[in-house]
Each structure stands twice: as structure tokens, then as C-alpha cells.
Structure 1
Amino acid sequence: MSLSLADVLAVLRRRWYLILVGLLVTVGLGWAATTFKPPDYTARGLVLLVPSQATVGEGGNPLLALAGLDLPARVLVAYFSSDAAQQQFAKAAPDAEIVVTMEESTRGPVIAIDVKDPTPDGATGTLRLVADAIPPNLARLQGEVGAPASTEVSSLELAMDEKAKIDRSDSTRVLIMAIGLGLAGTAFLTFAVDGMILQTSQARKRRAARATGDDAGEEGGDAADTPDVVEPTSDVPDPIRLEPPAANRNIRQSGTSASLPSARSSSPPEHSPSDSPTHWALPDAGTASIDVLSGMPVPSGRTTSSEESVERRG
């Protein structure tokens, strides 16, 4: 999952306190790196091999006869780089780091001595120790091979540091590693804690939503199980009274009016079968008539509701 710049800034705003703690820890790591890994001091010296007087000749220039001294210089460098020589120097300077090489910047028999030590005095002292060991070891090597004394090669110090130089390369490297570790740990811890908090919050919300849904479902089930109770009402609608339309006020009454029984009479009125029901004849409506009780037109020959009512009462 890729995070945009807005997402990263949002995480940094939410977890600023973790970033503050991580920065403090990073500062502590940097301080520890500079304390437990102090800077080193270096000293450098150059030694030149010089040919013998017999090789140069009387009145000759030794610097013009350096071409054949590259091989003796490399033999001497190989000896100082051996374990036997390094062990001898380690006894005198246990904390020093000694490197003896050929100076590749020149095309002559120049030997470079590089010394690194935790203290400036240790660096310069070890450099002097190695430089002083070159002449006797050079003479010993020539004596072992049986070289005549008149042809022996000698050494000359070209340059030798009198004051050590501070070297912060190792301490800077350790400091960068400590700061990088602190920042990486801070970023990882911040995003990891933010992710866990968000997941916990979302899980809590989902559980709350499920609990709310279950409660709503139980309430709905209870409501569905409860039957609806219809409360009786005392409001009884008034009966509909039908009246002839205003346009039919000129309806002519046909037949004999029948007397309807009164609702307040205790006994039904007497009725003769020969009494005819009351009809309202529509003008120009042929033989159609209107039932008084229903107010609807009744075709000719059909018994109206008033007749049926009279007959039932008779």
C-alpha cells in the first residue's frame, strides 16, 4: 500500500509525540557515537631510497640513478607489511594502525608510511618509530643477500609530519549510522503504532455497529411478535341522507304516496296491499321513476325498495 504525501503528513500530525521521542533517542545515539568513537589522528611520512656512490659514480647525481631502486623499495615494503613486523610494532604501539606502501604518485623508490592513532602524540611517535626502523632493516636485507658495502642502498627522509592531523572519517561514519538508525526506527515505530491504533479503532467501531444492529433487530422482532391492538371507537358516522338534486325539483309525483312508518312509533302503521309506492317521474324520461328511499331512477316494471319494504312490513 502506497502512501501519499498527505497521508504521511497526517500520520506525522497525529503521532507527533512519537516523533519527538524518536528524535530525542536519535540525538542520544549521535552523542553516544561521538563519545564512544572519538576522532583519530594521522601522521604521514615519505622515505626515499638512494643509490650507492659506486652506482652513481664519482661526481654523479644520485637522483638521476633512481630507476633501478624500485625493486628494493618494494622488497622493503613487503617486509614491513608482514605479520612479523606488524607484531613488533604492535608491542610498542598497540593502539596504532600502521600502513607501509609504495607512493604511487611518483615513479621512484618512495616509501609512504601512514599511521593512525587515537592520540596525536601516539600518531607522531609511531611514525617516528617506523621511520627509524627503515635504515637498519634495509641494511639487514642487503647483508642477507651478500651485497658489497660499496653498493648498498641507503634511505633518505623526504617528508615527516611533526604534528598529527585529526581524522573524523570513522567517527563521522559511525555518527551517520547512528542517526540513520534512529530516524529509521522513529519512522517505523510511528507508522506501526499509527496503523495499530487505527485498526483497533476501526475494529471497535465495527463491533459497536454490529451491537447496535443486533439491538435494533431484537427490538424489531419484539415489535413484530406483539399483535396490533385495535382500540374501539365511539365515533359512529352519521347515516347518509339522499336528497333529490336541485335540477330535479320540478319532478312530477306520480302514483299514490305511501306513508312511511315513523321511527318513534311503537307499532307499525297499517298498510293496505293496494297502496301503491311513491314514484317520482322524470319529465321526458318515459316510464322511468325514482325510488324515494334510494333516490335512484327505477325502470318501469321493476319493484322498488320502497315497495319491497312495504310488502315486508305488510
Structure 2
Amino acid sequence: MDLGEILRVLRNRWYIVVPMLVLAIGLGVGTYIVVPPTYSTFTMVSLLNAPEATKAATQGNENPFLSFDASLIATADFLGRRLQSTDTVLQLKNAGITEEYEVALAENAQGPFLTITLKGEDQDHLIASANELARYAGVALDDIQRQNNVAEKNRIKLTQVIPPQKPEMEMKAKLKLVIVAAGGTLAFAFILTFVVESLSRARRRRAALAQAEEIEAPSVSAAATATPDIEGTVVLQLPPTAPAQRPLPPTSIPGPGSDAEKTQRIQMPPRPAATVQKETQPRRPGLSTTYQSNGDRGGQNANRVNGS
């Protein structure tokens, strides 16, 4: 089916296409109005070396921002996976953090930086949840080290580098719902249109076939009819045959040696009275002379008279 055929079907079934198109537009607009907008924000935390490790790396300087070794990156990855575990998600949801969040290492970062991204509908609650999640990350890091009997002076610390940013509207999720509502309705209208067209064509074919069978049925019944006999046999009633014609009497056919096959009869007009008749036999008035032409006599006068 080409594009022209598709457009023709859509045009012929406009009573299906037009209402469904209006319904699709209405559903799209309604979805955009009813569905609340989604906002997103993020915060960033960083892991810092323990005081003893900082003194050893900086020769007595206790500033933790002067030493970032590779072990901190591995610890940050471990902490991010711990925060996204199922048990932690349920624990945070019971604590009031109902928004969806994601924890991952910061892109293009050269240190142990974790980016915490949250998505929700309430902007104020979203910011509060981001701060609470950053605080919980520090508590979780300290609990992990305490469970592994790490001394206080050797424990890694966590600090918040970037506070939660102003929430921004996420149009992608909202537009996705609008497209699903409107596009799904249009797809259903397209399928429904061609289903109705297919059923209509099948009904027309059956009607045409039934009409053709009705036309052929009388001719078949006129040719031969069958009636059941008492004993269960079938007697075929054939149409009556035409009466036999009497043979025509044979006609006399001249033989191959007769002169009739070579004779050509020519009727001449009567001669005037002044013409001298050379025939030896007397001529009757009103009759003409007949000539016989054949291959043997060369068209000589046969002395025959019309009617002889």
C-alpha cells in the first residue's frame, strides 16, 4: 500500500480520523496541565584524608585539602554504591527523603568528589532532602569505618563542597507523558481506521461473490435438475431434445461426363422482325435463342429455345 492509498483511506474514513485527532490533542493538553512539573537539583561532597595521613603527607601540615591520594577515589566509589543500595533507599524514605536520587563520581574530576542528584515535585522539600542526603553520606562513611575498627585519628572525613542548587524544571519527563498520551491516541486511530477499511472491503467482496453465485445458480438448475427417488437414487431430468428431421430426398447430380457441368445458359433479347432468320426451324414469337458454351463446341448455337 503506497502513500496515496493511505491518504485515500484516511480521507474516506474521516469520521474516525477527525474525532480521534481531536481526542489526541485534548489528551495531550490535559496531560500537560494535570501532570505536575518535575524539578531537579544537585549537591557535591568530597572525601578528605584523615589527620594522621595529612600530617604524614604534608610533613606536619594538618590541612586535609593539601593531600588527595588515589585511595580516596576508591573510597568515594564505595560510599556511592552504599548510598544507592536497596536497604539505604528504604531507610532514607522512612526518614522523609522520598525523592529519587543518584550518587556518582563527578565527571572529569581528579579527586574523590561525589555528585548527588535529586528529582522531585516540591522545590523546598527537594533542597531539604539534598542537604539531608549529604549529611547522611557523612554519617554512613563514619559508620563504615567504625564498624571496621578504624581509629578516630585515622578516619576519612566528608565535607559538602557545593550546596544544593536552585531546582530547575525537568521538561523532558513531562513532554514524554504528553507524547505518550497524544501519540498513543493517534496510533490507535490509525490502526482503527485501517481495521474498519479492511472489514468493509471483506464485506464487499463477500457480497459480490454471493451475487455472482446467485447469477450462476439459475443457469445450472436449468441445465439439469435432480430429484430423489423412493429407493434413494437420484433421477436426472434432462431437457427435451429437438425432434428428428426427415431426410431430404436425394437430388439428381449430373455425372462427371455430362455437358451440364460445362454448359452456360445465356438469354438473348428477341431479334427484330426485319432480321432474316437463318434457322431451319420456325421461330415462335416472343422467344429468344439459347446458346450453349462449353469447352468442346466453342460457344456454338445449340438451337435451343427458352423453356426447353
* TM-score for the superposition, normalised by structure 1: 0.65
Q: Distance in 1 between matches of 2:153 and 2:306?
A: 170
Q: Distance in 2 between matches of 1:29 and 1:79?
A: 41
The corresponding residue for 1:159 is 162
Q: Distance in 2 between matches of 1:141 and 1:180?
A: 49
Larger radius of gyration: 1
The corresponding residue for 1:56 is 54
Q: Distance in 1 between matches of 2:141 and 2:118?
A: 20
**Is 1:30 equivalent to 2:32 in the alignment?**
no
| Number of positions where the alignment pairs a residue of Structure 1 with one of Structure 2 | 252
The corresponding residue for 1:236 is none
Identify if the C-alpha distance between structure 1 residues 216 and 78 changes in structure 2 by more than 3 Å, giving closer, same or farther: closer
Q: Distance in 2 between matches of 1:87 and 1:201?
A: 62
1:5 maps to a residue whose letter is L
Q: Distance in 1 between matches of 2:77 and 2:304?
A: 151
Deviation, structure 1 residue 44: 0.8
Identify if the C-alpha distance between structure 1 residues 251 and 92 changes in structure 2 by more than 3 Å, giving closer, same or farther: farther
2:65 maps to a residue whose letter is L
Q: Distance in 2 between matches of 1:285 and 1:8?
A: 100
The corresponding residue for 1:5 is 3
Q: Distance in 2 between matches of 1:54 and 1:284?
A: 173
Q: Distance in 1 between matches of 2:288 and 2:142?
A: 155
1:283 maps to a residue whose letter is Q
Q: Distance in 2 between matches of 1:48 and 1:186?
A: 54
Task: Indicate the percent of aligned positions where both proteins have the same amino acid.
Answer: 20
> Is the 1:291–1:304 contact (alpha carbons within 8 Å) kept by the matching residues of 2?
no
Identify if the C-alpha distance between structure 1 residues 304 and 141 changes in structure 2 by more than 3 Å, giving closer, same or farther: closer
CA RMSD in angstroms comes to: 3.9
Which structure 1 residue ranges, 5 or more long, are not aligned?
Answer: 219-224, 226-243, 253-281, 306-314
- Residue of 56, 65, 68 corresponding to 1:66: 68
Q: Partner of 2:61: helix, strand, or coil?
A: coil
> Is the 2:289–2:306 contact (alpha carbons within 8 Å) kept by the matching residues of 1?
no
Identify if the C-alpha distance between structure 1 residues 248 and 61 changes in structure 2 by more than 3 Å, giving closer, same or farther: farther
Identify if the C-alpha distance between structure 1 residues 296 and 5 changes in structure 2 by more than 3 Å, giving closer, same or farther: farther
Q: Distance in 2 between matches of 1:89 and 1:49?
A: 21
**Is 1:45 equivalent to 2:48 in the alignment?**
no
Alignment of 1:82-93 (within 5 A): 82-93=85-96
- Residue of 92, 100, 105 corresponding to 1:102: 105
Deviation, structure 1 residue 300: 6.2
Which structure 2 residue ranges, 5 or more long, are not aligned?
Answer: 222-239, 241-266, 292-301
**Is 1:250 equivalent to 2:273 in the alignment?**
yes
* TM-score for the superposition, normalised by structure 2: 0.66
**Is 1:130 equivalent to 2:133 in the alignment?**
yes
Q: Partner of 1:248: helix, strand, or coil?
A: coil
Q: Distance in 2 between matches of 1:163 and 1:24?
A: 38
> Is the 1:93–1:122 contact (alpha carbons within 8 Å) kept by the matching residues of 2?
no
1:86 maps to a residue whose letter is V
Q: Distance in 2 between matches of 1:304 and 1:144?
A: 153
Q: Distance in 2 between matches of 1:188 and 1:32?
A: 23
Deviation, structure 1 residue 90: 0.9
